[in-house]
Amino acid sequence: TQLLEQSPQFLSIQEGENLTVYCNSSSVFSSLQWYRQEPGEGPVLLVTVVTGGEVKKLKRLTFQFGDARKDSSLHITAAQPGDTGLYLCAGGRNNDMRFGAGTRLTVKP
């Protein structure tokens, strides 16, 4: 059982559509991070959220940390083919990070 559950596991949409992916846990985290990973490469950090209820925007991407610091969401507005990739959330607690299994997003032109 994953400590962090991500949904959906796969998502295929058309260019221009909006989407939201989720990262849920029963554990409380001191911080939560979102990464994007492209085939054959390592994950690249998108954002870190640390305060319950925090919302951060990165161009067309909006990240929210749940009030109880147990869950997070990533919303993409007007998705583009360049958004295609594996989106991973990671929660920090004690001295280590735990990753979810990821949402694999495909944006078709």
Would you tell me which residues interact with other proteins (CB under 8 A)? 2, 6, 9, 30-31, 33, 40-45, 48, 88, 90, 92-102
Amino acid at 95: N
Nearer to other proteins, 88 or 107 (CB): 88
Cβ neighbours of residue 98 under 8 Å, at least 6 residues apart?
A: 3, 4, 90, 91
Nearer to other proteins, 85 or 100 (CB): 100
Nearer to other proteins, 66 or 91 (CB): 91
Contact criterion met (CB below 8 Å) for 64 and 55: yes
Longest Cα separation, the chain: 42
